[in-house]
Structure 1
Amino acid sequence: MKQLINTLFLIMLFPICSWSQQLVLRGDYPDPSVVKIGDTYWATATTSNWAPAFPILKSKDLINWQVVSNVFTNLPQWADYYFWAPEISYDNNKVYIYYSAHKKGGNLCIGVASADQPEGPYTDLGPIMCQEVGSIDAFPMRDNDGKLYLVWKEDGNSVKKPTSIWAMEMKEDRTGLIGEKKELFHNSVPWEGNLVEGVSMIRHGDYIYAFYAANGCCGGACTYATGIARSKSLLGPWEKYSGNPILVGGGEWICPGHGTPVAKEGKHYFLFHAYNKASSVYTGRQGLLIEYTITPDSWIKFVKPSEPKPNAPLYKSSYDFINEKMATHWQWSVFEKPQFTFKGSALYLSASPSYPGSFIGHKTISGNYTATTTVSVQKASAATGIGLIGDEKNVISLYYDKGKLLIVQIKGGKKSTLISRSLSNTQSLTMGVQVREGKNITFLYSPSGKDLKKLNLTPINGSYLPPWDRAVRVGLFAKGDSTRVGVFDNFELKNK
């Protein structure tokens, strides 16, 4: 009820700013951060419980992006899950990633990793702030005197307390904080709901401006919006804009927030995330770009473009598994890294004994898509399949196992076999999954690789799949003891 009231409050009292949001990062890229180094822009984003942690993307124009690496292929030893809100920055010829993660045996902490070049390799410097209720959403900022500070959010909303945005001086080598922390501001007005977070800052003229997000970030009932605060010095006093929120969901995009300001060719932009109203939680929070300017009274205003900006195009993903760089294109659970190798233009995925087995996942960028794979029945020794992954306890997949096609659903950790059909005397098998509206799922198969047939004539409802902070992945599976393998000749993802 509280979220509904907050949503109505935003709709009634504030203008809908949806006309200038340009989609530049399709798919699940929450909390995007961007920095310009030389003539190239570099970005990263939240991966939560998917590994490798934190993609590194590059672009020459802020519009067309390419994933080139990841910050952590092997996760830091001190952290176990919830790899959130990486902030990429460049200072004194060094690249730094400030990130949040759950400390083993503890709570959410802020860590730092560094590299000599943006694509890595990155060296983890360990956690530098761990508050009892959790510390997240770090941003580095220098004050007027040149001192380096860390700005972050204390996760008070997790224990039903107000959330504070803190600043504390940071060592130049980024290995720790010094002095005393100072509160900059906290959630204090109705539109902010139970939290403020995701602060990023930029200096224009006499002021430091803080972009910040507030209210409910995630899920179908999200109420996220973006506000602005300003101060003439980092440690305050801070003044919130009376016209907040300055960016509210509407039209094609909802719940906009948590991003980074960046300059391009003398203009100023804000890279942030929002849900697409049509594909919603199934494709996750996607990366959008909007221009802003400084008003005569020294506030920030988003700019309406003279003509609509084109969104990043839908694209097809196709892999034949010849020397593929799996860490660039694919993801897996932070709780179990699968073993895989490439032999003779095929992917060999080592199995895991319990359902859903071992798996790798690929981002989805549309609510309507078809994914297919050809499996080598002769070479595979495990139950081999394709399906959709929310998390480890919410999966639905089609397996071929010992002459049978099986649709297996895992919902809330409970397994059930929805369909079992015999299919023998086949050496190769094409398997697929067709998805409509993000949640209506039909599994496909063909022994010949042509004329795919529907295994389930009535679509299966996959609305239970997405976790609160992540989107659905489509993936490949191998189920059996660890000596067995699933063998895949290819994978193709077509979007509509």
Structure 2
Amino acid sequence: MKNFWLLLFSFVALSCSTNKSADTASSQNSTPDSLANSGAITYSNPVLPGDYADPSVVRVGNDYWATATSSEWAPLYPILHSTNLVDWETVGHVFPEKGPDWADTHFWAPEITYDKGKYYIYYTAKKKGGNLCVGVASASQPTGPYTDHGPLVCQEVGSIDAFPIRDEKGDLYMVWKEDGNSQRQPTPIWGQRLNEERTALVGERFELFRNDPKTWEGGLVEGPFILKRGDYYYTFYSGDACCGRGCTYGVGVARSKTLRGPWEKYASNPILKQNATWKCAGHGSVVTDAQGRDFYLYHAYKTDDFVYPGRQGLLDEITWSKDGWPRFAQNAPSATAAAPLNQNAPDVWDIADEFNQNALSSGWQWPVNQKPNYQLKTEQNGKLTIKASPETIGTVLAQRTLTGDYTTTALLDKTSLSGGTTAGLAAIGDNNNAVGLSLNNRELILWSVKENKFITLDKAPVPQENNVQLRLMARQGDKLQFAWSTNGTTWNEMNKGKAIDASYLPPWDRGVRTGLTAKGPTTTSATFDWFKVENAD
């Protein structure tokens, strides 16, 4: 009898607090000890562990709804739900089956909003045969189904990071970034009227502001979120390099009494910078709770795991000083803070699936436009059968990695393999970059794919037993060791136990996934009995 947890996600609970006074410019986090002594319930960042770049959140009543970048992993744009801002559950996707007909890749930067009884997702995607565009989809319920309204703006150098806002007259506008940095050009933030049907921009566009390369903003400003507070509109925005090992991201703010400006950038920008734990913070959205407190949901890289889990979702409270500008405690991401609603989730980060439900859990992903053909068999404690494909790494079903140190294990039924099918588990950067351990009817194969080139690293005779467990151990994100077992106790190391350098895996805009693969003719398949990921403390 298998006894693993069903698929679970939740987030670590530690301690710290935020001084919420709006009358001081020096709001700071209390020490963890002081919070512990006060008996306050706390949460720890990240609240969205793993690859949740460019998160966006909206409150409707007592519910919080969020989404985030999907990049090249489907299903596209997760819909997440919470009632306390720190305990999140994936409850659907904007495009659960396939992407919008007009787009093919780069599914970035969604912005979720609620207006006059409908939910809208403004998103970025690359147009087929063209460049980056801003599109929008709508639904009467936050979980969908969503109707796509097509692209709204497609500039020559690309258009990204849309945000809708109503002005002081109640007229609807859309604000977005012209992606000039992709061509070594400036990056204006534009605004333009948007019709109520969300099908077209109307009237003349106008510029809010653009990057100043002589300041911390460097080559770009992007990710605008506009908040109306008192007499001012406040635009929270990000500047400089967003992603990858060379990232230098930060958050700034500008304000204006009218949407059309003039906009004044805060003299003390950036208001959110890196610290010893988190770096390259940026591209988030502001949500106001029922008590009137403002919180910023945004992404950052953890300094020790860095690019391997990707840009993770963090939450911090915004305080306001006498001069009318927003502040973050210590101008940097918090490690821990008082839970907004004095609630938190249990500390469970491990993932496990016995495939004994009628549908795959919401955490599973696959490469865009390559939805796998699979079947779940709930009898006999559950099995997952995946149809193979002849792609370089085969059919892929994967999960986000949540840390740089994890162990993935899966049980494969060897008798399900036929016709040259090779199946197993892997760490996956994208379709062209992966490292894995697979087996067929003849042998175990340790392999790597780098820039779409398949290389065999090691081989071993296939065991006589029908059930074979495969194990991947990752340390520091890029040191991978593989082994196999027929009983789960005695493990046989591949590559003489030496770690494989997988530092090349993550593309610049996403984290590593870990999951199952099946390679071979499309008429063949592979059957897995269970899958689990255990994260190191």
* Interval containing the TM-score (normalised by the shorter chain): over 0.9
Matching of residue 32 in structure 1 with residue 55 in structure 2: yes
Q: Superposed, which structure 2 residues align to 1:86-485 within 5 Å?
A: 86-188=110-212, 189-264=214-289, 265-303=291-329, 308-309=337-338, 313-323=347-357, 325-326=359-360, 328-343=362-377, 344=379, 345-381=382-418, 382-456=421-495, 457-485=497-525
**CA-CA distance at 1:307 after TM superposition:** 7.4
Q: Is residue 29–residue 337 contact of structure 2 (8 Å, CA) maintained in 1? A: no
Task: Report the more deviating stretch, 104-113 or 448-457.
Answer: 448-457
> Residue 157 and residue 338 in structure 1: after superposition, are their counterparts in 2 closer, same or farther (change >3 A)?
same
**CA-CA distance at 1:308 after TM superposition:** 4.5
Partner of 2:83: 60
> Residue 447 and residue 306 in structure 1: after superposition, are their counterparts in 2 closer, same or farther (change >3 A)?
closer
Instruction: State how far apart, in whole Å, the 1-side matches of 2:515 and 2:467 are.
Output: 19
Instruction: State how far apart, in whole Å, the 2-side matches of 1:326 and 1:158 are.
Output: 38
Question: Secondary structure of 1:438's partner?
Answer: coil
Question: Secondary structure of 2:181's partner?
Answer: helix
Q: Which amino acid aligns with 1:450?
A: T
1:327-367 deviations in Å (ceiling 9; x for gaps):
61111111422211112421111111142111111001011
Q: Is residue 52–residue 327 contact of structure 1 (8 Å, CA) maintained in 2? A: no
1:230-273 deviations in Å (ceiling 9; x for gaps):
01111111110011001111110000000001112221111100
TM-score, normalization: structure 1?
Answer: 0.94
Q: Is residue 45–residue 336 contact of structure 2 (8 Å, CA) maintained in 1? A: no
Q: Is residue 392–residue 432 contact of structure 2 (8 Å, CA) maintained in 1? A: no
Q: Which amino acid aligns with 2:483?
A: L
**CA-CA distance at 1:315 after TM superposition:** 1.2
The gaps in structure 2 that reach 5 residues or longer are 1-25, 32-43
Q: Which amino acid aligns with 1:481?
A: P
Instruction: State how far apart, in whole Å, the 2-side matches of 1:121 and 1:421 are.
Output: 48
Instruction: State how far apart, in whole Å, the 2-side matches of 1:123 and 1:451 are.
Output: 52
Instruction: State how far apart, in whole Å, the 2-side matches of 1:18 and 1:417 are.
Output: 51
TM-score, normalization: structure 2?
Answer: 0.87
Question: Secondary structure of 2:47's partner?
Answer: strand
Q: Which amino acid aligns with 2:299?
A: H
**CA-CA distance at 1:170 after TM superposition:** 0.3
**CA-CA distance at 1:296 after TM superposition:** 1.1
Q: Which amino acid aligns with 1:85?
A: A
**CA-CA distance at 1:397 after TM superposition:** 0.8
Higher normalized strand content (fraction of residues): 1
Instruction: State how far apart, in whole Å, the 2-side matches of 1:255 and 1:306 are.
Output: 15
Instruction: State how far apart, in whole Å, the 2-side matches of 1:175 and 1:450 are.
Output: 59
Q: Is residue 70–residue 327 contact of structure 1 (8 Å, CA) maintained in 2? A: no
Instruction: State how far apart, in whole Å, the 2-side matches of 1:306 and 1:53 are.
Output: 29
Instruction: State how far apart, in whole Å, the 1-side matches of 2:532 and 2:190 are.
Output: 46
Question: Secondary structure of 1:157's partner?
Answer: helix
Partner of 2:107: 83
Question: Secondary structure of 2:70's partner?
Answer: coil
Partner of 1:50: 73
Instruction: State how far apart, in whole Å, the 1-side matches of 2:510 and 2:348 are.
Output: 20
Partner of 1:8: none
Q: Which amino acid aligns with 1:108?
A: L
**CA-CA distance at 1:193 after TM superposition:** 0.7
1:384-408 deviations in Å (ceiling 9; x for gaps):
1001100111011101112211011
Give the number of equivalent residue pairs: 481
Q: Is residue 69–residue 110 contact of structure 2 (8 Å, CA) maintained in 1? A: yes
The gaps in structure 1 that reach 5 residues or longer are 1-14
1:97-140 deviations in Å (ceiling 9; x for gaps):
00000000000000000011111111111111111110000000
Question: Secondary structure of 1:247's partner?
Answer: coil
Instruction: State how far apart, in whole Å, the 1-side matches of 2:507 and 2:336 are.
Output: 36
Question: Secondary structure of 2:208's partner?
Answer: strand
Instruction: State how far apart, in whole Å, the 2-side matches of 1:465 and 1:210 are.
Output: 35
Instruction: State how far apart, in whole Å, the 1-side matches of 2:491 and 2:404 are.
Output: 20
Q: Which amino acid aligns with 1:154?
A: E
Instruction: State how far apart, in whole Å, the 1-side matches of 2:458 and 2:131 are.
Output: 41
> Residue 157 and residue 438 in structure 1: after superposition, are their counterparts in 2 closer, same or farther (change >3 A)?
same
Q: Which amino acid aligns with 2:303?
A: K
Q: Is residue 57–residue 297 contact of structure 2 (8 Å, CA) maintained in 1? A: yes
> Residue 306 and residue 466 in structure 1: after superposition, are their counterparts in 2 closer, same or farther (change >3 A)?
closer
Matching of residue 491 in structure 1 with residue 531 in structure 2: yes
Q: Which amino acid aligns with 2:155?
A: Q
Q: Which amino acid aligns with 1:243?
A: S
1:272-313 deviations in Å (ceiling 9; x for gaps):
000000100001100111111222111111246897458974
Q: Is residue 18–residue 249 contact of structure 1 (8 Å, CA) maintained in 2? A: no
> Residue 102 and residue 90 in structure 1: after superposition, are their counterparts in 2 closer, same or farther (change >3 A)?
same
Instruction: State how far apart, in whole Å, the 1-side matches of 2:63 and 2:88 are.
Output: 11
Q: In angstroms, what is the RMSD of aligned CA positions?
A: 1.9
Task: Report the more deviating stretch, 299-308 or 373-382.
Answer: 299-308
Higher relative CO (CA 8 A, sep ≥ 6), structure 1 or 2?
2
Q: Is residue 374–residue 449 contact of structure 1 (8 Å, CA) maintained in 2? A: no
Q: Is residue 431–residue 445 contact of structure 1 (8 Å, CA) maintained in 2? A: yes
